[in-house]
Amino acid sequence: MPILTLAMPTPLRRSFDYLPPEAMDDETVAALPAGVRIEAPFGNRKLIGILLATKASTDIDPSKIKRVTKVLDQHPILTDKLLSLSQWAASYYQHPLGDAFANAIPNLLRKGEALIPQTQSHWQLTTEGKGLPEGALKRAAKQAQLLGLLQQQGRLNRVQLDNAAISQATCKALIEKGLIERVEVLAEPYDHQQDCLKSPHLKLNHEQKRAVDTIHANTGFQCYLLEGVTGSGKTEVYLQLIEQCLKRQQQALVLIPEIGLTPQTLSRFNNRFNCPIVTLHSGLTDRERLLAWQHAQSGEAGIILGTRSAVFTATANLGLVIIDEEHDSSFKQQDGFRYSARDIAIKRAADEQCPIVLGSATPSLETLNNALQGRYHHLPLKSRATGASAPAFELLDIRHAPMEDGFSPALISAIGNEIKRGNQVLVFINRRGFSPMLMCHDCGYVAQCQLCDARMTVHFQQRLLRCHHCESQAALPHQCPECNGTQLDFRGSGTERSEQALKRLFPSTDIKRIDRDTTSRKQAMQQLVAEVHKGEPCILVGTQMLAKGHHFPDVTLVAVLDADGGLFSADFRGPEKMGQLLVQVAGRAGREAKAGKVIIQTHQPEHPLITSLVNDSYHHYARAILSERQASGLPPFAHLALLRAEANNLEQAEALLQDLRGWVDHSGCQVFGPLPAPMTRKAGRFRAQLLIRADQRKPLHRTLQQLCSLAEQHPLANKVRWSIDVDPSDM
C-alpha cells in the first residue's frame, strides 16, 4: 500500500502520512513527483500540502490514516533543490515545515490556484504575408523592415520587436492589411545570448575589473564579499557579472533590502539589459506575484530582483546570486519564520553550485569574519568610482551649545552655507514623529502606552500620541491627565520637529521630510527622490530610509543630529549597527563632482567608538569591535538562539521557560534565563526569553530540537505563545 508523505501548512513541526486518492493505481502513485500540491483532510478542514515523498509503509494505525482528496499538479511546482532548501531552512530555524513551504510559494498557489503554463505573444507572417514579393511595401519603411525581419526569423516577441524599434502601431498596420498575425506561444526560456545589452557597459576601473574577473574565473559555488566604500561602483560590478551570467544562458537572483529601492535599482537594470526582469516584493498583488514567480520559474526572466522573500523564488537555471547591502537588518525576518535571507541565499548558491556575491560598504561582522578567515573571497573596492573623494568627517561637540530644537549654531551656519552655494543638505535623525516624550512640567507625568512598556511618541500635525511598538494611539491632550496642568513639554526631537525647525530657520528653502509617515502612500518615495534628483537646493530631513543605497548627486553636506543613542544600546550589536548607519548616511555626501562633508553632533566627542569611526575607516572600526566580540565570546565567535515566550502574564511565560530549561540537555550549551524580554510588556502581552549559547552549532541545534518538542507538548503551550529565533539579530 503506497503512502504519501506531505508537508502541511500547520504549526506542527513534522510531516504527515496519507493514503493516495482511491482511484489512483499504485504505479501512478509511485510515479508522483515530490513537489506537487495535494489536497488532504486535516482535522475537519481540507488543506493543501506539498508532496515530500512516496513510501511503501507507515507506522500510523491503518484504521486512523486518512486519504488525500486531490492531486493538484502533474508537474512539481518546486524543484528538488528548492524542496530541500525549504526543508533545510525549516530544520535550521526550527520552524514548522508546512509554514516554511508557505513562505516559498506564492499565495495563489497556496490557495490551490491551477498553475497554467504561461504563453507569450509572438508576431508572424500570414500565408498572404509569406506570398509577398521581396521589397514590398517600400513606401512604409518600418512596415517593410518588420516584414523583412519576420521573413528572416520566423517569429518575434515583444522584447525582440522593441529591440528592433518596431512599434505597436507598425504591427497593427500590418495586421490590418492581413499580412501578419499575432499568435500565443508557450513561454520558453529567453535567449539571452543574442542581445542582452541595451546600453554599453562602463569601462571598469582597476579594482572593479579585478572583482569581475575573479568572480568570472570561477563559475562553481564560491561566496564573495565585495567590500566597496559608498559610491565605489558596486552596482556596476553587479551589472557586469549579470551580463556574463545572461550570456551563459543563466538567470541572476538579486536581493536588495528595501522595497523603496526597487524602482531605482530596476531602472538601472532596465537601462542596461534587454532581457525580461521580474521584481518580487511586498508591494505586489497576489496576481502580480504569481506572474513574476512563473516568469522566473519558466526561465523566461533573466533577472529576478526582489526583497527578502524572493530568496525562495523558483528558477529554471540559476547562475548567480547577489545580495546588495548584505549587512541590512531587513534580510532577517523578525516574526513568524525568522530566517535570514542572506544565509539561506548562501545555502541556495551552494546547492545550485553558482557564485554568490555579498556587497556592502559596511559588511556585517559575521560576513567580515568569514572573509577574514578565508571562507569567503574578499574583494575590496577602496575608492569612489566617479573619482570623487571620500566625504570628510567633522565631529561637533555640542556640550554647552545653545541648541535650537536639536540644531547647534555651528550646524545651522554650516547648513546655511551649503544652501547659499546652491547645494543640497541631508539631515539625519533616527526617530519619526515630533517628539519621543510628552511630559507635564508641573507634576512630571509622562505619557505611556497603555499596552507596552514604552512611551508614546507625539505626532504633532496629526494631534496624536502614537505608540511605535503596537500602533495604538490617543488624542494629543491639552492638559495633563494627572494634574490638569497646562505646561506640557515635548522632550527630544523626531523628524517632524526637525522639519519644523528647519522651516523656521530656512524659510525660503525647500524642506523635504522622508520617513515612514511621509512615504506610506504608493509612489510617494519615488516622487520625493525624483524631485531631489532635479538638483534644486533643498534640505532633506529623514530617518535611516535616507541612508540606504540612494544616489543623490547634489548632496554636499550630511548632518547627523544625534550620534549618541547608539553608544549606549543594551544590544551587543549596538556599536555595529551604529557604525553601519553612520557610514551609510555619510556615504550620501559628495558622490559626484561636488566634494562632501559629514557633520556629526555629539556629547561624546572623545568616545573611542566615535573617534575610531571618524578617524579610521569602517573596516578598522569593524575589526576593533570584532575583536571585542571574540574576547566576550559573542557571535560570530559563538552561536546564539532565543526561545521567546509571551502570555497574558509574565509568570506563565516564565514558568514555561523554567520547565523547559530544566528538562533539556545542556551539554555543549549555556542557557541563560528565563529573563524578562527587553520590552517586557508589548501590545498587552508579557514576554520572557531564554538565551542559549554554544561554541558549536551541533549542540545548539540538538538542544533547540529538544526544546521544541518539549514545548509543543507542554501543558502551558495553549496559554503561552512561544517561538524560536536562531541567530537572532535583535535581542
Binding-site residue set for Zn(2+): 440, 443, 449, 452, 467, 470, 480, 483
State the residue for C-alpha cell 514545548: 711
Q: At what angle do helices 495-505 and 409-420 cross, to 10 degrees?
A: 60
DSSP at 182: E
Per-residue interface string for the shown chain with ligand ADP, residues 510-549, x marking contact by CB under 6 A:
----------------------------------------
Q: Per-residue x/- mask for ligand ADP, residues 426 to 455, rule CB under 6 A? A: ------------------------------
Among 227, 236, 352, 515, the residue binding ligand ADP under the rule CB under 6 A is 236
Residues 98, 233, 299, 302: which binds ligand ADP (CB under 6 A)? 233
Cβ distance to ligand ADP smaller for residue 82 or 546: 546
Residue in 449, 502, 555, 557 binding Zn ion, rule: CB under 5 A: 449
* The one-letter amino acid at 659: D
Interface residue with Zn ion among 225, 290, 467, 626 (CB under 5 A) is 467
Residue 662 backbone phi and psi in degrees, to 5: -70, -30
For the stretch 268-300, what's the b/e string if a residue is b when 16 or more beta carbons lie within 10 angstroms of its beta carbon?
Answer: ebeebbbbbbbbbbeebeeeebbbbbbbbbbbb
User: Contact, 62 vs 14, CB < 8 A?
Assistant: no
For residues 233 and 673, which CB has a smaller minimum distance to ligand ADP in the complex?
233
Please enumerate, by residue number, every residue annotated as part of a binding site. Answer: 440, 443, 449, 452, 467, 470, 480, 483
For the segment 47-106, give every residue that binds Zn ion (CB under 5 A): none
Residues touching Zn ion: how many (CB under 5 A)? Answer: 7
CA distance 4 to 16: 8
User: Which helix (H) or strand (E) is 3 found in, with range?
Assistant: strand 3-7
- 468 counts as binding Zn ion under rule CB under 5 A: no
CB 117 within 8 A of CB 187: yes
The C-alpha cell of 395 is what?
A: 565631529
- Nearest CA to 232 out of 210, 255, 250 is that of 210
Task: Quote the least distance from Cβ 208 to ligand ADP, whole Å.
Answer: 6
Per-residue contact flags (x/-) with ligand ADP for residues 380 to 409, judged by CB under 6 A: -----xx-----------------------
Is residue 593 close enough to count as binding ligand ADP by CB under 6 A?
no
**In the chain, helix, strand, coil percent, each to 5?**
35, 25, 40
| Rounded least distance, CB 551 to ligand ADP, Å | 5
Burial class (CB in 10 A: 0-12, 13-18, 19+), 193: exposed
Q: Comparing C-alpha atoms, which of 571, 507, 515, 506 is closest to residue 541?
A: 515
266 contributes a contact to ligand ADP by CB under 6 A: no
Q: Which of residues 173-212 bind ligand ADP (CB under 6 A)?
A: 202-205, 208
Q: Strand, helix or coil at 483?
A: coil
Q: Between 10 and 472, whose beta carbon lies closer to Zn ion?
A: 472
Q: Which stretch binds ligand ADP (CB under 6 A): 21-29, 162-170, 231-239, 399-407?
A: 231-239
Instruction: Say how far apart CA 545 and CA 433 lie, in whole Å.
Output: 14
DSSP code string of 240-296: HHHHHHHHTT-EEEEE-S-GGGHHHHHHHHHHHB-S-EEEESTTS-HHHHHHHHHHH
Query: In a 3-state reduction of DSSP, which class is residue 209?
Result: helix
464 interacts with Zn ion by CB under 5 A: no
Report the nearest approach of Zn ion to the CB of residue 458 (Å).
Answer: 14
Q: How far is the CB of 429 from ligand ADP (least distance, A)?
A: 23
Which range, of 338-346, 415-423, 432-440, 450-458, touches Zn ion by CB under 5 A? 450-458
Type and span of the H or E element at 642: strand 639-647
231 contact choice in Zn ion, ligand ADP, none (CB below 5 to 8 Å, kind-dependent): ligand ADP
CA gap 315, 304 in Å, rounded: 9
Provide, rounded to whole angstroms, the least separation between the CB of residue 435 and Zn ion.
17
Would you count residue 330 as binding ligand ADP (CB under 6 A)? no
Say how many Å lie between the first and final Cα of the chain, rounded.
49
Minimum separation from the CB atom of position 213 to Zn ion (A):
53
The verdict on 580 binding ligand ADP (CB under 6 A) reads no
Stretch that binds ligand ADP, among 110-118, 150-158, 225-233, 570-578 (CB under 6 A): 225-233
Strands 457-459 and 510-514: unpaired
230 interacts with, out of Zn ion, ligand ADP, none, CB within 5 to 8 A per kind: ligand ADP
Nearer CB in complex with Zn ion: 452/532: 452
Interface with ligand ADP, residue 230, by CB under 6 A: yes
Near ligand ADP by CB under 6 A: residue from 231, 302, 363, 436: 231
Radius of gyration of the chain (CA): 29
Q: Which residues bind ligand ADP (CB under 6 A)?
A: 202-205, 208, 228, 230-236, 385-386, 551
Q: Which residues bind Zn ion (CB under 5 A)?
A: 449, 451-452, 467, 469-470, 472
